[in-house]
């Protein structure tokens, strides 16, 4: 990725990263690229030793590497114990995202009671309801809808066509990507099998409260609480197409990958990692620091932190069908085994 506005020497980059340089500190860098695509004006990085061969073949002008891999680098080496974090730190320099100018676009619909910081940006066709508060340097992109009483902190970025329902609270430095919906009603209905209406809607009286430095992916939905609030704590990252039910709590520093689904009142501890497609049944607790692997279905509260998995790995269909039959036979086999154990016990007593 190139950005014509970026031209930094290796020495400048190393100083920013507080890293050591082996090679030409005066080499200028204008782009960032993978090892196998980089040219002499690019910087790259290596954080996985299994790709060490590519390090010796890369045409990059500089490579960020761990100390133990520096000897295999034919380019100028920027040595740091955590190359991936260094990559993250400089990646923004090369971003081609559009720049925004503060102010309110003429096509935006903004209620007179809304309080919007002078440094904020309100783009085309945005709708902002009454009593909304928007903080310094926050960007609200085209087509977003911010309903009554919602509070958005400073340095947030609300991407196009996001909907924030009424009374939602966002902290500072929160990014919400396109199509996300925050504060919609939780799935609350009281059954009435004998009535004319089979379901009676339970009005969701809580809201959603989101902390600082939270990133929410596109088309993700976060339901408001039924009585209390749905809460997302500081430094949580949420991928696209995630669903978080009403009254859930996501602990500080946790990460939820794509298509995770949390039923209502699930509590996810601090620093948890939920891989793609994980499902959490309602009213369960996941302890701090837990890791749930992809497609796992959690149906009970976990009593201690650790790594948890469920389901079977991929296999050929004919083998899977055989295994599925065996699964259906397990209960009968367990009963037969128990009966056999009792028979052996009686025989041993006779001896």
pLDDT tens digits, one per residue of 33-60:
999 999 999 999 998 888 888 898 999 9
Residue 33 is encoded by which pair of tokens? 């690229």
Mean pLDDT of 95-119: 96
CA angle 113, 116, 119 (to 5 degrees): 160
**pLDDT tens per residue, range 135-181:** 999 999 999 999 999 999 999 999 999 999 999 999 999 999 999 99
User: Does 317 have pLDDT greater than 90?
Assistant: yes
Distances (CA, A) of 342 to 82, 330, 335, 338, 351: 59, 18, 11, 6, 14
Supply the pLDDT for residue 188: 94
Q: Return d(Cα 144, Cα 190) in angstroms, integer.
A: 32
Supply the pLDDT for residue 50: 83
Q: Return d(Cα 156, Cα 24) in angstroms, integer.
A: 39
Supply the pLDDT for residue 194: 85
Q: Parallel, antiparallel, or unpaired for β 291-292 and 230-232?
A: unpaired
In CATH, what number does 8-94 get?
A: 3.40.1390.10
The residues annotated as belonging to the active site are 246
Q: How confident is the model at residue 348 (pLDDT cuts 50, 70, 90)?
A: confident
CA trace torsion 214, 220, 226, 227 (10° rounding): 10
Mean pLDDT of 286-306: 97
User: Does 2 have pLDDT greater than 70?
Assistant: no
Q: Return d(Cα 105, Cα 107) in angstroms, integer.
A: 5
Report whether 83 contacts 13 (CB < 8 A). Answer: no
Q: Which residues contact 169 (CB under 8 A, 6 or more apart)?
A: 150, 151, 207, 208, 209, 210
Residue 174 is encoded by which pair of tokens? 């929160």
User: Does 223 have pLDDT greater than 90?
Assistant: yes
Supply the pLDDT for residue 349: 78
Neighbours of 238 (CB within 10 A): 26
User: Does 4 have pLDDT greater than 60?
Assistant: no
User: Does 3 have pLDDT greater than 70?
Assistant: no
**pLDDT tens per residue, range 13-25:** 999 999 999 999 9
pTM summary value: 0.90
Give the rounded percent of residues in the chain with a pLDDT score beyond 90. 86
User: Does 1 have pLDDT greater than 70?
Assistant: no
Residue 316 is encoded by which pair of tokens? 């050929």
Supply the pLDDT for residue 86: 97
Q: Which residue has the tokens 């990059």?
A: 60
Residue 154 is encoded by which pair of tokens? 């400073």
Mean pLDDT of 265-290: 98
Q: How confident is the model at residue 351 (pLDDT cuts 50, 70, 90)?
A: low
Mean pLDDT of 66-84: 94
């Amino acid at each position: 990725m190139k950005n014509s506005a970026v031209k930094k020497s290796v020495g400048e980059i190393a100083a920013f990263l507080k890293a050591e340089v082996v090679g030409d500190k005066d080499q200028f860098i204008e782009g960032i690229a993978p090892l196998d695509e980089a040219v002499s004006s690019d910087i790259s990085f290596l954080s996985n030793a299994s790709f060490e061969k590519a390090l010796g073949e890369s045409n990059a002008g500089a490579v960020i590497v761990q100390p133990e891999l520096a000897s295999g680098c034919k380019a100028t080496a920027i040595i740091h114990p955590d190359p991936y974090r260094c990559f993250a730190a400089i990646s923004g320099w090369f971003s081609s995202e559009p720049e925004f100018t503060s102010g309110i676009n003429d096509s935006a619909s903004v209620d007179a009671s809304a309080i919007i910081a002078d440094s904020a940006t309100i783009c085309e066709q945005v709708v902002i309801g009454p009593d909304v508060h928007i903080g310094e340097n926050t960007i609200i992109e085209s087509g977003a809808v911010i309903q009554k009483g919602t509070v958005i902190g400073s340095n947030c970025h609300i991407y196009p066509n996001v909907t924030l329902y009424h009374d939602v609270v966002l902290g500072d430095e929160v990014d919400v990507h396109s199509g996300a919906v925050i504060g919609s009603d939780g799935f609350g209905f009281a059954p009435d099998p004998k009535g004319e209406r089979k379901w009676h809607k339970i009005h969701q009286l809580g809201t959603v409260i989101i902390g600082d430095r939270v990133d929410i992916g596109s088309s993700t939905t976060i339901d408001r609480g039924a009585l209390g609030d749905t809460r997302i704590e500081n430094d949580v990252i949420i991928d696209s197409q995630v669903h978080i039910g009403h009254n859930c709590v996501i602990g500080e520093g946790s990460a939820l990958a794509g298509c995770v689904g949390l039923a209502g009142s699930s509590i996810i501890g601090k620093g948890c990692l939920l891989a793609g497609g994980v499902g959490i049944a309602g009213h369960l607790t996941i302890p701090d620091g837990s890791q749930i692997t992809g497609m796992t279905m959690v149906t009970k509260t976990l009593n201690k932190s650790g790594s948890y998995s469920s389901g079977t790995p991929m296999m050929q269909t004919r083998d899977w069908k055989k295994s599925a039959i065996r699964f259906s036979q397990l209960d009968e086999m367990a009963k037969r085994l128990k009966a056999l154990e009792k028979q052996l016990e009686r025989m041993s007593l006779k001896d």
